[in-house]
Chain A
């Protein structure tokens, strides 16, 4: 129901309108980052962050630590360390 793809914010296109440029494996698109910014986390701080992109909006930040932990767990399962 929800096609979403991870992308990296490479530039802020418009601070006031909360628009950023996201890159997904060489493909760039402008996305609206209203859903992931606030006073503690203004647009300028988003450059370099990975986000989930859905219908032209950044939905959430990808937690890189959690992603690494999930992969680590899967690797442990593959090495048979967890039963």
Chain B
């Protein structure tokens, strides 16, 4: 078993981070070369691992593992190590690939090759020159890639958490990459504020997750995936032992706590508020972190922990508490976010809400027990969402290019606002066609896109188990297709609405090549997951060297292979209707008569206040500000520091001090001065008086001294004589 190198997979990007930070910071070329080469090394190792894993029969039973003791715990030790099972192998297929493509994309995005513009301020986005903090960007990207790969190959929950948090750090650093950027409107969130928002919102989930990890560790004595999740007895025990909260088993409570972490990381309701503001970061960041990898980490963690979350559940039986939570929150979020996406103006914000919505799909799929479907959608979504984000970055770049190169006065407009675009299909053809493919994949265009197959499988599973989830997801699919077409129409169709759009041009090859590669996957990656029971195509692919073995392969991760759902025409039809219907509706509203310059959104007037509600994201940001942020500030600044510490505690201490001073003064004045000090003073005065009286003898004259001496001698002689004579005794 060539497992020795698996732990090497996350290392090259980590080394790249240190090398760039410490050594190659000044050279842009060296920095991106180090980053891309290291990512490529990781990618190659991952591909080798993946291909090797594919060749092994029943891979789920004979995995690659390696671990070492890390922290001593009494008489035992907590181990850290790596694990490659079928799920890991599937993740290793797409994660390094997308990361690598995004690294390459970033070279062009950060304007490599252009000169450093002296008007560009460090810490703000460059206007037309190369990004001043170019190397730093690649350093952070590398660190992030390390975190994600660490999470993927981790063999225990703690190491997963480590990778999870490192990605959180990089997300913070990269969202706030342009830390010096300010906006004219004080209500618009700046990148540095968005970074804090992202970090803190996900941290709420993270602390809950930590409690879950700790609880699980205590209950089972280990955190290793193989020992907990691939172990019938342990899972049964966890499902049957009651926890601290009445009605929940240990598995249930731990599952809910871990799910809380995923809610934060994958931006599900109610912790979804950070993701749209995370769009303040550079677009490659949005693509990598907030589409393909970090947000998927939440879903991946849930997929990984599925045996625990579903402990005690049997197919067709009652859902466990975590599953119910996931089903509810996932499907609710899917619909909720889709409705908001319909009313957004910013091209990246639409994609952000779309991501939230699609993640909701995956969570909902897990909630109803569709393990393989969730994993499948995770992978296809990564491809087409990354594609869409990178495409949007390309569009923004093109519009900015037009902004700077339009003859006459430069317009000052938001290059991300779709209402400032239009007609870009002729100006940026490669971007257009790849974006179209990505958009259709997102909408689930039947048969030829990957998104169709993964979404269809979720719908099929939902139809077979929980009907309500099914209908909610179908409605979301309809809206998804609608807003996708809206986005495509506004951006690419019709005529350019502004001068900048007029003069936009296609971006460099480093940006368009990744788009093409991702588009390829967006089209063809779906075929690995075509169900075998699908009429015609399923059997055809099966005979073609078992091409569509995704279900069988990934399903092998679990102890019990999940059953593939029987083919049913109804969800298929519903899926096709929702997809094509939504696309057509979108085209009818936005594409048939493309908007002219200055024209408002045709949806605004008929929907009225509902449109505002959607556009302002149901005012959740404002709500959270009033309910959480302001009270927290008050508690911190006023209650804890000023009132509790300074007034109450210090006030008490100062009171004690003052009392001590009063007592001390009393002793000093009354007792000490009057009573105790006096006798020594009197004695001293007396001695002084005696001295003053006697000093008259000291005249300084020798003769006087001699006289006195003689008199004393005489006196003594007289006394002596008298003693000798017997008169005195």
Are the chains A and B members of one assembly? no
Residues on B lying within 8 angstroms of A by beta carbon are: none
Name A residues whose Cβ lies closer than 8 Å to a Cβ of B.
none
